[in-house]
């Protein structure tokens, strides 16, 4: 442990693995982390979808490598970490970003819907988090950043499984933070509010979406790079005395 001032967001020489990197927030996180100096392992179920992103990062002078990983499958998670470490060196930071939602009225949620959401959003973070932590514990430790949601802290309709998974992820973050501090692994979460990404843009421009935006104290949706400050804080040594915390980035949504 050093007493030197921590440099905010400096990831020079660090290897970061981002799950669900093929689109949306995960692709943005990978780009931001690479620009901050990290070697980024881009993990997704289909590596074919990662080629453009890898090229964009490399053209900007960064380092990226695509690995196949289905976060719901322990064997696939292990193989993905092995491939990432063979190409880029030991993983110092994991960003548990992969996640899904299946919006439905509670009475219509099937067992398969429930399993798909909980397996991806909660079990997936457990599997990747445990794999990362086992490796980090044998070295100098590391940082795990779980992408939770304000819906892990406050519920809305039609998303019972999603809300439950993200609430579970916030508690998992604290439980892991508690147990892993002694092996030098920090575990924190970001709870984004409503962030505009290509998959939800249409909804937010509908009357229902516009009404929702009016309920956000800052009166606007989040933009993908609004999460960069929290991401770079939690991924870098600037947060070296933080573990088990949840950083909410929501334009004040939870205050409403």
Residue with tokens 């799950």: 19
Task: Report d(CA 84, CA 194) in Å as an integer.
Answer: 31
Helices 74-88 + 124-137 axis angle, to 10:
40
How many residues of this chain interact with ligand NAD, rule: CB under 6 A? Answer: 27
Q: Is 143 in the site for ligand NAD (CB under 6 A)?
A: no
96 or 237, CB closer to ligand NAD?
Answer: 96
The SS3 assignment for 41 reads strand
- Return the residue of 62, 129, 142, 192 that touches ligand NAD, per CB under 6 A: 192
Confirm if 103 and 160 have CB atoms less than 8 A apart.
Answer: no
Output the six-digit token pair for 121: 């959003």
Q: Is 194 in the site for ligand NAD (CB under 6 A)?
A: yes
* Stretch near ligand NAD under the rule CB under 6 A, chosen from 2-10, 68-76, 104-112, 180-188: 68-76
- Return the residue of 14, 39, 45, 65 that touches ligand NAD, per CB under 6 A: 45
Nearest to 122 by CA among 163, 66, 181: 163
Provide the strand spans (E) within the chain.
15-19, 39-44, 63-68, 93-96, 142-147, 185-192, 246-249
Q: Is 41 in the site for ligand NAD (CB under 6 A)?
A: no
Least gap, CB of 22 to ligand NAD (angstroms): 4
- Return the residue of 60, 156, 175, 199 that touches ligand NAD, per CB under 6 A: 199
Residue 15, Cα to own-chain centre: how many angstroms? 15
Q: Is 70 in the site for ligand NAD (CB under 6 A)?
A: yes
Which residues, numbered 74-133, are part of the site for ligand NAD (CB under 6 A)? 97-100, 120, 124
Task: Report d(CA 114, CA 120) in Å as an integer.
Answer: 10
Which residues, numbered 10-39, are part of the site for ligand NAD (CB under 6 A)? 19-20, 22-26
121 or 236, CB closer to ligand NAD?
Answer: 121
**Catalytic residue set:** 162
Output the six-digit token pair for 242: 């933080």
- The residues of the shown chain that bind ligand NAD, judged by CB under 6 A, are 19-20, 22-26, 44-45, 69-72, 97-100, 120, 124, 147, 149, 192, 194-195, 197, 199-200
């Amino acid at each position: 442990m050093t007493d030197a001032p921590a440099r905010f967001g400096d990831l020079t020489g660090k290897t970061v693995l981002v799950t669900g990197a093929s689109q949306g927030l995960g692709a943005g996180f990978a780009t931001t982390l690479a620009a901050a100096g990290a070697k980024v392992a881009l993990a997704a179920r289909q590596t074919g979808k990662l080629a453009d992103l890898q090229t964009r990062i490399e053209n900007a002078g960064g380092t990226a490598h695509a690995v196949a990983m289905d976060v719901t499958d322990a064997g696939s998670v292990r193989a993905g970490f092995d491939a990432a470490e063979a190409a880029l060196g030991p993983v110092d930071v994991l960003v548990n970003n992969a996640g899904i939602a299946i919006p439905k009225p509670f009475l219509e949620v099937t067992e398969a819907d429930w399993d798909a959401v909980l397996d991806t959003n909660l079990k997936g973070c457990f599997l990747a988090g445990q794999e990362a932590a086992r490796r980090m514990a044998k070295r100098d430790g590391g940082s795990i950043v779980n992408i939770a949601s304000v819906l892990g802290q406050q519920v809305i309709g039609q998303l019972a499984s999603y809300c439950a998974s993200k609430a579970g992820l916030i508690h998992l973050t604290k439980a892991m933070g508690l147990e892993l501090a002694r092996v030098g692994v920090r575990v924190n979460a970001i709870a984004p509010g409503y962030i505009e990404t290509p998959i939800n843009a249409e909804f937010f421009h509908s009357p229902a979406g516009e009404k929702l935006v009016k309920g956000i104290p800052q009166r606007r949706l989040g933009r993908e790079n609004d999460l960069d400050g929290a991401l770079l804080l939690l991924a870098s040594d600037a947060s070296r005395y933080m573990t088990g915390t949840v950083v909410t980035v929501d334009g004040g949504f939870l205050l409403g």
